[in-house]
Structure 1
Amino acid sequence: MKVSLTSLQLREPLTSLLVLCIMTWTLTLCTARGPICMKCQNITNNGNCSNITRCNDGEGCYAREVITATGSAVLQTGCLAHQLCTILESTAVGIGRRDNTGEIRKRDVTSCYRCCEKDLCNEHICDVVLPTSPISTQPPNSLVTTPTPGKQVTCFICSDATNVTDCTTTSTCAVGQQCYTTRASLAGNIHYSMGCEESNICPHYSTVPSAQSPFCKRCCDSDRCNIKLCGLHLIPELVTKPVNRTLEVDDVTRLRCEADQASNATLSWMFESPSGSTVLPKPVAFGKGNTTAFFQITPQHFGKWTCIATNSFGNSSASAYITHLSST
């Protein structure tokens, strides 16, 4: 017998409600997710961890540093529920382990326990003290390094983008912050995140070898600079640049300019005469996509010609001069 959802709603309200609850729960489970985190156990150096994992919804990244009974330090990283992380951050430092009898043995002491919620943020959080976050509570005796006052930078902002060309939104960071980019390979897919990071955290990310690791995190301190980090080259690059010409009036010539195809850039030309005029002289003709400018030289064509390649991430330019033969 064919039973529609409408008949379930009318005849079996309890069953219908259960079905809808299961559908809602399943949809939430499939779409909600946490950050990408480092995941390693009992490593002696941050650089020895090359494993990453995707946390579930309601989880963040954590790092725990343990001083063992032999006096060596080991690090544990992974995912942990936000509520549990908040409790452990404020209570776990100094706590040892119990053996199978329940008695505290010669202790392995937890010297650091911290949580964070950005992609790959747990790699170095036990190296430095992080600013307080909504899910992070600093130990009472911790010392927070105050970022050096300076200018505010504008950075590209995006969270867990699988196509970096989707990261076109920008935002101005707080004083004491820099731009950052993370790139992580997870289950065969590349994930990107960009945003603002505390300046005192940034120096620790430069130790990660981006070419040899499945992840990269880098910082920079100028406007929109994070679109160039971790091997990204999204700002147009001119692969063919115009070159200087020395010509006579009535000579016919051309200037060529091309951008790398991957940048999907638009080309345009600007002109500046020796007197400072920016009016584009005539006659001039432009080839397909403005990649070539053709001239039959008149006295008005002598000056500085600039090719500009522009896309949503920025622009690059190159200039050439057309000069009269007599001036040489």
Structure 2
Amino acid sequence: MQIVAVVSFLLVTTVVLSSRDQCFNCNGVSDQKDCNVITSCGENEACYVRKFTQYNGKPLFESGCISKQNCQIIHQVSGLGRKRDDGITNCYECCTTGNGTYPCNDNLCGNPPATEKRCYSCSDTINPEDCENVVSCDQDSMCHTGTYIHPLSREIRYTLGCLGKTTCTALMNHWHSYQTSSQSSGHITLQHCNDCCNTDFCNIRLCGIPKRVKPVFIQKPDNSTLRPEFEGVILVCKTDPTSNATLHWEFKGLSGGTTISSQAREISVPNNVNLTIFPVHQSDMGEYICSATNSVGTSTTSAFLSPK
């Protein structure tokens, strides 16, 4: 009798985003575009902007994080026109994106979009994903990220900010990315990078800086209906390499079992884990869950094996 192996996979381009927002966070600036501090909100928080008029007649802006529950009823909570110690509230708006990178409260309360490019700006930092400062760059500049090796600690350090377009072009043409190795560093290969981009907040994605999102699946397992004892399956689970994720399989059997068969073969490489079961048995039927975890959180996808 012929034995048939079924290879099942599904290509997808769905982006799984983090549930956390990055928000502008300032108290008492005369224009929301003047806010240059970014903060990370909690999973149950959103971004907000409050515009209020001081008793001297001058407007100010307040921004930051607010609970999503209050965001949904913000007008009732805020009481537009209500007097507070700092003035009269004229506007109270909130937003949420969940992408963990672009602050959505830049243009709330009628504040027009900034005409200058805005870039992350931090110097000599080990963890660029924690950078919470932004600067406005003129039209002759681009957002830039560069790395170097600290001479004492040998750690990779990052510098983010604005750089002139001419300098950026020269760096990307001649010193975009290069590697060196030396005896003093224990034959460790060290990578240096200079890269530029031309959209708001884009330099948080350069030079291998990890994305501030949960792992993104680029290949998911598909459901399969199989004949026990005669057919097999390969379940494929793969994430975007920039997710820097650790992947593993879990099992919820139709009969209540949670242990993956000892005959199953798992092959794991960075950002990719395949599970081969051949042949399948009745006890292998159920839901196979692929979990991918990085520093931001965990994403899951699953496939069901059902008997014919």
| TM-score class normalised by the smaller sequence | 0.3 to 0.5
Q: TM-score, normalised by structure 1?
A: 0.37
Of Structure 1 and Structure 2, which has the larger fraction of its residues in strand?
A: 2
Larger Cα-atom Rg: 1
Which gives a bigger RCO, structure 1 or 2 (Cα 8 Å, sep 6+)?
Answer: 2
